[in-house]
Amino acid sequence: MSKVLIIGAGGVGRVVTSKCAQHPSIFSEIMLASRTKSKCEEIIADVTRSTGHSHLRAAQVDAENVPQLVALIRSFNPKLVIHVALPYQDLTIMDACLETGVHYLDTANYEPKEEAKFEYSWQWAYQDRFKEKGIMALLGCGFDPGVTGIFTAHAAKHHFDEIHYLDIVDCNAGDHGKAFATNFNPEINIREITQKGKYFQDGQWIETEPHAISRMVNYPGIGPKNSYLIYHEELESLTKNFPTIKRARFWMTFSEEYLTHLRVIQNIGMASIDPVSFKGQQIIPLEFLKAVLPDPGELGENYVGETSIGCRIRGIKDGEEKTYYIWNNCSHEKAFTETRAQGVSYTTGVPATLGAMLMLNGQWSGSGVFNVEELNPDPFLEKLGTMGLEWHEETNVDIEFEV
C-alpha cells in the first residue's frame, strides 16, 4: 500500500484518479493537485462517489514552481508522483522528485514553452542524477507514447529476432459534435500537429512538410481512414532502443474539416507562440485560442465512436520475414460511463495508472531514467485488458504502405 501524488486535473488526471481509486490495496492514499484546487475537488467528489475510496485529497500547486512542489511532496510524503499535467512542467517536477527522493512517472516528453519542439534529450540528461539518488523516472507511460512502446517491446521479445519496419497507426473515429475541438490540451495538441513531419529511415531522420504525406489505412472495426505522417516522440526512443529498425513512422487520422480549421488557425496567426501586444498587454495567440476552444475534459458526454491505435511491424523471425499487427480499440461511450472522461483521456490515463501499479509493486524497478520499452512488457500486457484496454494481435497481415 502506497501514497501517490497525481499532478494535473484535466481529463487524464480524472481517469488516473478514478483508476487508482479502484485499487485501494495498491494506492492507499491519493492526492490530486493542480493550479486550480476546485478542479481537483470536483474530480475527487465524483471519484469518491463512484469508487468508495475514502482517502482522497485535493491540493493546489504551481507545477512550474520547484519549491512549491517540494513542499507539497514533503507534506504528503508519496512514494510516486504521477505527472499528467503539461509537458512544459516535466523538468520542474523531476527536479522536485530528485530533491525529495520520490519516484516519477509521466505520459509525454518535455517541451519548452518558447519553442514548439519536443525531444527526450532534456529528460535523458537526468539519468545519472536519478541513478545516484536511487529513484526511478518512467517516461511516456500513456498510450502513444507508452503502450505503443510496450507493444513494440512485446513484439521484439515474442515475435521477432529483428524488427526492421515499424508503423504506429493512430485513428480517432469518434464524433463529439463540435465544429472544432482538440482531444487533449489545445495548446499542446496544435503545437504538436502543426510541426513538420519526420520519420526515421536507414539511420537518419527525414523531414516533411506538415500533413504532406498521407495514406489510406484500414483500422479494425472502423474501416479505411486517411492517415497523415507526423512526427511523434516515441519514434526517438524506439529507434534508439531497437537498433535493428530500418524505418519507423507515425500515422494519425484527421478529418478534412479538422485540417481546414487548422489551416485557417495557422493562416490568421492564432497558432503562434510568439507574444503580441493587445490593448497594452502581451498575449500569446495560441494561449488565447486555448481559452476559447472547447475544454477536452468536457467532450466526453456526447462523444460517440472509438479510437484504434496500434503497431504494424515487419521483420525477421527464424530467418523468415514476418508481419505482425498489435492494437487496441477504445469506445468513447464506455470510457465516459466508467470515468466521465472521453476515450483519448482514457487511453492515456489507464496506462499511466498501470505503469504506476507496476512501479509500486516492484515488477518494474530500477534507478535512473527509463522509457517504457526498456522494461518487461509481459506484466503490463497481462493486466492491460482487465484495466479496461483490451488488446489484440495478428500475424501474417498485409501491412505495407510505402512512402
Q: Model confidence over 72-86: pLDDT tens digits?
A: 999 999 999 999 999
Q: Region 228-252: what's the mean pLDDT? A: 96
Threshold 0.85, pTM exceeds: yes
Phi and psi at 332, nearest 5°, equal -60, -40
Q: Please indicate whether residue 68 or residue 185 has the higher confidence score (pLDDT).
A: 68
Q: Model confidence over 190-231: pLDDT tens digits?
A: 777 778 899 999 999 999 998 899 999 999 999 999 999 999
Enter the C-alpha cell of residue 60. 493546489
Q: What angle do CA 298, 301, 307 make, to 5 degrees?
A: 90
**Contact between 129 and 97 (Cβ < 8 Å):** no
C-alpha 307/C-alpha 330 separation (Å) is 5
Check whether 296 has a pLDDT greater than 70. Answer: no
Q: CA-CA-CA-CA torsion for 49, 303, 265, 262, nearest 10 degrees? A: 130
- For the chain, domains (ranges, CATH) are 2-139 (3.40.50.720), 147-338+388-395 (3.30.360.10)
Q: Model confidence over 357-374: pLDDT tens digits?
A: 999 999 999 999 999 999
Nearest CA to 148 among 394, 372, 387, 393?
A: 372
| Residue environment code for 13-35, b if the CB has 16+ CB neighbours within 10 A, otherwise e | bbbbbbbbbbbbebbebbbbbbb
Q: Can you list the positions of beta strands (E) in 66-113?
A: 80-83, 103-106
Confidence of residue 400 (pLDDT cuts 50, 70, 90): low
Looking only at the bridges linking them, the beta strands covering 306-317 and 214-219 are unpaired
C-alpha 59/C-alpha 39 separation (Å) is 10
Strand partners, 83: 7, 106
Q: Indicate left, alpha or beta for 394 from its phi (over 0: left) and psi (-120 to 50: alpha).
A: beta
**Contact between 369 and 126 (Cβ < 8 Å):** yes
